Amino acid sequence: MSTIQEYDLLITGGLVVTMNPGLDLIEEGYLLVRNGRIIEIGPRSQLRPAIAAKRVLDAGEKLVMPGLINAHTHAPMALFRGIADDRELMDWLANYIFPAEATAVTPDFVDWGTRLACWEMIRSGTTTFADMYFFEDTMADAAAQAGMRALLSQGIAEGPTPDSATAADGLARAEAFIAKWKGHPLIYPAVGPHSAYACKPSTLLRAKQIADQCAVPLLIHLAESQSENRLIQEQYHTTPVRHLGKLGLLDKNLVAAHCVWIDEEEIEMLYRHDVGIVHCPQSNMKLGSGIAPVPHFLKLGIKLGLGTDSPASNNRLNMVSEISAVAKLHKAAALDPTVVTAQQSIAMATMGAARALGMADEIGSLEVGKRADIVVVTLDEPNALPLYDIYSHMAYALESSNIETVIIDGRVVMENQVMMTLDTEAIRVQARQIKTKILGSLSVPHKGH
Amino acid sequence: MSTIQEYDLLITGGLVVTMNPGLDLIEEGYLLVRNGRIIEIGPRSQLRPAIAAKRVLDAGEKLVMPGLINAHTHAPMALFRGIADDRELMDWLANYIFPAEATAVTPDFVDWGTRLACWEMIRSGTTTFADMYFFEDTMADAAAQAGMRALLSQGIAEGPTPDSATAADGLARAEAFIAKWKGHPLIYPAVGPHSAYACKPSTLLRAKQIADQCAVPLLIHLAESQSENRLIQEQYHTTPVRHLGKLGLLDKNLVAAHCVWIDEEEIEMLYRHDVGIVHCPQSNMKLGSGIAPVPHFLKLGIKLGLGTDSPASNNRLNMVSEISAVAKLHKAAALDPTVVTAQQSIAMATMGAARALGMADEIGSLEVGKRADIVVVTLDEPNALPLYDIYSHMAYALESSNIETVIIDGRVVMENQVMMTLDTEAIRVQARQIKTKILGSLSVPHKGH
């Protein structure tokens, strides 16, 4: 007689989309979870009888997939959602977002903004997010309490930011932040110099040094808009990618968001140095920034993730919507429906993002040994009926409202659309109060409540 | 003492977005409905006391907006959702969709496909849809039973279609269909010759004659893809728009879907003849068909609606998602975030669509005398918090899952997300059964359940 083992969670039934290297689909599957990790995965017919799990979840007739990864955002900016839309990136940043941040961004703002963002992300199937913002320590507390996995980088820029009078202050905060959170099961610290235009070379070099010494990723915005490229051209007589290359920042620990305005030689450089790229289609579209050469990235096999960017530029934190947008955007741009397939789009939000963020051993697919970050999706809603091709379904038909249950690190954080880790009513009240305060202190045009 | 009148429905409170000519917003509004029409609308402070309504709906803290209009679709194709994605339009049509239609499309298919589509459309805030398909009489029955408003056109093409051996049969069906449904409060009949490439000039002329005689709109696909333009060039040595112009089809009753591949002179022609255009951004994107010159249409003031196109090419029937996509697509294409604003995008799905379909006196805005097609939206979900600008919110932040209650012609068809007119469980069962039958009779590649 075999020993009956004790598991934390057993998920049975359902169509399991593994996103493992063989892209295996399991028609009626099961997953066993212990200590936050997937211990077994396979067809339910192979599940031994008399398995004792603390918790059993029936996923029959449902879809079971890896948690989605939002590989680039500024989560607390959920509190700025819609504050000044339909404006060009540099105008939007310089005349609306930076002044709003200077006035409004406090630890309290970051705390409630992060809770609001985690609510929206969990609700739409995201289990990990990568972030660059301020008061990152407050953010880490809020994300960990929400039960979310997060790669968090303390934001660094010249001149005063909401939490630092100088870049040196920001760099010091980054060091302290890493020291405090390194080794946490959910929070992965990183360094986040804003960009080549908002940080001097000396600041970028010091940020890189900290990242290297602490063995954490370096997150940066790169070649997002034509205005950024013009600024770098004026100041350094080169392009943003080459500028970082000269400084020695291009390596496998660099996670570069956007990479819209880069030429073929630069794409090769990023590939050769094993840089991770995060594509943010809907933010790039909404800001009119441009269309990144994603088919080219895919052809080379660059580590490529997908992100929403900030909820002030998107204006959602919904990776289901982002997956759908990325496939369609590049078909439209290339006049070719075969570029950026449904499957490739889903990969960008799962394994591709995990690779880009240096987390491929931990997340991005449903495989034995990986963290148990799992999403259960109903196929009973009208938009999900009927089902012919599961990848087409996931990329083009599903909506975030189809997501029923979300598990992070083996813990059920949303069950049947009920949030288990967040006080949603308190977040509602605070979001509205903070917005009223922001409107009182700024001259932002607004229409509505 | 004033006479107390009897009303069917009173909606009180909430932020009312009228989309009337002055784009009035009413912070705390009320609407009174009788016999399917809006009788009064205004600030709640002006509501007389002791109003007796059969039904009172509290919209406090919510958004009240006009029902959305899906101005171009083929609703029953919901049953083909995802059947063969990531393929070019003409390949997709000729090698997958047309063969699937030849085998699968029966009155039963159209009946259940329409029910499924109405469920998805109501669920996502659509109250009117314009359609071109087959067995249109069956479709009208199903739509009317679902309580939806629909502009339905019997599809016409050369050679055999699912319901007609010849174009002449299709034309005869169209005449009979119009005679039967003209004057129905929810169903507005029309004529639907497929396109200039699928219909001979004589067929187009006869369709136009029927439309003129019966005073109904003529719906057509126009200049959707480069392959369409090549076909017309080969056969008629001109462009699709000029071809229709020569035939005398361009007038205020023509509703032309797509208009992607048209030059400036053709845009002027369509404007001068007061043709309505329906833009389908996500279908055009997904099929790699191209990007319609929407900023140009808007500058001229062309009657411009928005549509999902078929759920086989989208793959959703979700106008909330379409509004978001249209704003972003054209900003990306123009590298300019000021083109196609949030407000313009919402207008395309409300008053713009109503104008394009010739229904501007009936629907498209919340105004006294218009049909009571009203959507109530919760602002309590995380993606809807906080609210700064109502139009930005509607275009970029809201999701279809925020829609709570839908009223069509004064009748509540969805209340707190519960469908009142459709047997959803029966639709689920039928959708899955019909899909299994289709897969059995076709050699379509498929992955999943």
Tens digit of each residue's pLDDT, chain B (449 residues): 345 568 999 999 999 999 999 999 999 999 999 999 999 999 999 999 888 899 999 999 999 999 999 999 999 999 999 998 998 777 888 888 888 888 899 999 999 999 999 999 999 999 999 999 999 999 999 999 999 999 999 999 998 999 999 999 999 999 999 999 999 999 999 999 999 999 999 999 999 999 999 999 999 999 999 999 999 999 999 999 999 999 999 999 999 999 999 999 999 999 999 999 999 999 999 999 999 999 999 999 999 999 999 999 999 999 999 999 999 999 999 999 999 999 999 999 999 999 999 999 999 999 999 999 999 999 999 999 999 999 999 999 999 999 999 999 999 999 999 999 999 999 999 999 999 999 887 765 544 44
Query: Cβ contacts (< 8 Å) between B286 and chain A: which residues?
Result: 327-328, 331, 337, 396
* B323 and B389 belong to one structural domain: no
Are the Cβ atoms of B337 and A286 closer than 8 angstroms?
yes
- Which residue does chain B place closest to A85, by CA atoms? B392
**Which CATH number do you get for residue B410?**
2.30.40.10
Inside any domain, residue A441 = no
Inside any domain, residue B437 = no
Which residue of B126, B129, B227, B328 is the best one to mutate when testing the A interface, meaning the one whose CB has the most A CBs within 10 A? B328
Are the Cβ atoms of B331 and A381 closer than 8 angstroms?
no
Strand ordering across the sheet containing B418-419: B25-26, B15-17, B63-66, B374-377, B403-408, B411-415, B418-419
Are the Cβ atoms of B287 and A325 closer than 8 angstroms?
no
Whether B431 contacts B115, CB under 8 Å? no
Structure tokens at B83: 């059947």
* B40 and B77 belong to one structural domain: no
Q: What percent of the residues of chain B are helix, what percent strand, and what percent coil, each to the nearest 5?
A: 40, 25, 35
* Residue A4 pLDDT: 54
Render pLDDT for B317-326 as a digit per residue (tens, 0 to 9): 999 999 999 9
Which residue of B225, B385, B422 is the best one to mutate when testing the A interface, meaning the one whose CB has the most A CBs within 10 A? B385
Q: Of B82, B282, B287, which is closest to A388 when you measure between CB atoms?
A: B82
Whether B129 contacts B150, CB under 8 Å? yes
* B332 and B198 belong to one structural domain: yes
The three-class DSSP label of residue A71 is strand
* A89 and A57 belong to one structural domain: no
Residue ending a domain, among B310, B327, B356, is B356
Query: Cβ contacts (< 8 Å) between A393 and chain B: which residues?
Result: 81-82, 315, 448
Residue A57's contacts (CB-CB under 8 Å, 6 or more residues apart) are A9, A10, A11, A12, A376, A405, A412
DSSP per-residue letters across B32-99: EEETTEEEEEEEGGGPPSS-EES-EEE-TTSEEEEPEEEEEE-GGGGGGTTSS-S--HHHHIIIIIHH
Inside any domain, residue B305 = yes
* A35 and A73 belong to one structural domain: no
Are the Cβ atoms of B335 and A389 closer than 8 angstroms?
no
Inside any domain, residue B446 = no
Query: Cβ contacts (< 8 Å) between A432 and chain B: which residues?
Result: 385-386
Closest alpha carbon to B396 in B340, B334, B313, B312 = B340
Are the Cβ atoms of A325 and B328 closer than 8 angstroms?
yes
Inside any domain, residue B444 = no
Structure tokens at B333: 């294409």
Q: ∠B357-B363-B367 over CA atoms, to 5°?
A: 145
Residue B10's contacts (CB-CB under 8 Å, 6 or more residues apart) are B30, B31, B32, B33, B51, B53, B55, B56, B57
Structural domain including B378 reads 6-66+371-419
Whether B139 contacts B181, CB under 8 Å? no
Inside any domain, residue B448 = no
- Does the model's pTM come out above 0.80? yes
Query: Cβ contacts (< 8 Å) between B28 and chain A: which residues?
Result: none
- Which residue does chain A place closest to B425, by CA atoms? A380
DSSP per-residue letters across A374-411: EEEE---SGGG-S-SBHHHIIIII--GGGEEEEEETTE
- Complex ipTM, two decimals? 0.95
Q: Rounded to an integer, what distance in angstroms lies between the CA atom of residue B169 and that of residue A320?
A: 44
Residue found under tokens 């498209």 = B364
* A221 and A273 belong to one structural domain: yes
What is chain B's Cα-based Rg? Answer: 21
Are the Cβ atoms of A382 and B116 closer than 8 angstroms?
yes
Q: Of A85, A325, A336, which is closest to B396 when you measure between CB atoms?
A: A85
* A175 and A142 belong to one structural domain: yes
**If you ran DSSP here, which 8-state letter would residue A76 be given?**
G
* B49 and B197 belong to one structural domain: no
Are the Cβ atoms of A314 and B226 closer than 8 angstroms?
no
Q: Rounded to an integer, what distance in angstroms lies between the CA atom of residue A353 and that of residue B252?
A: 50
Q: How many domains does chain A divide into?
A: 2
Inside any domain, residue A170 = yes
* A180 and A131 belong to one structural domain: yes
Whether A220 contacts A193, CB under 8 Å? yes
**Which CATH number do you get for residue B322?**
3.20.20.140
Q: Rounded to an integer, what distance in angstroms lies between the CA atom of residue B377 and that of residue B63?
A: 5
* A320 and A385 belong to one structural domain: no
* A182 and A315 belong to one structural domain: yes
Output phi, psi for A299, to 5 deg.
Answer: -60, -40
* A39 and A154 belong to one structural domain: no
Are the Cβ atoms of A325 and B327 closer than 8 angstroms?
no
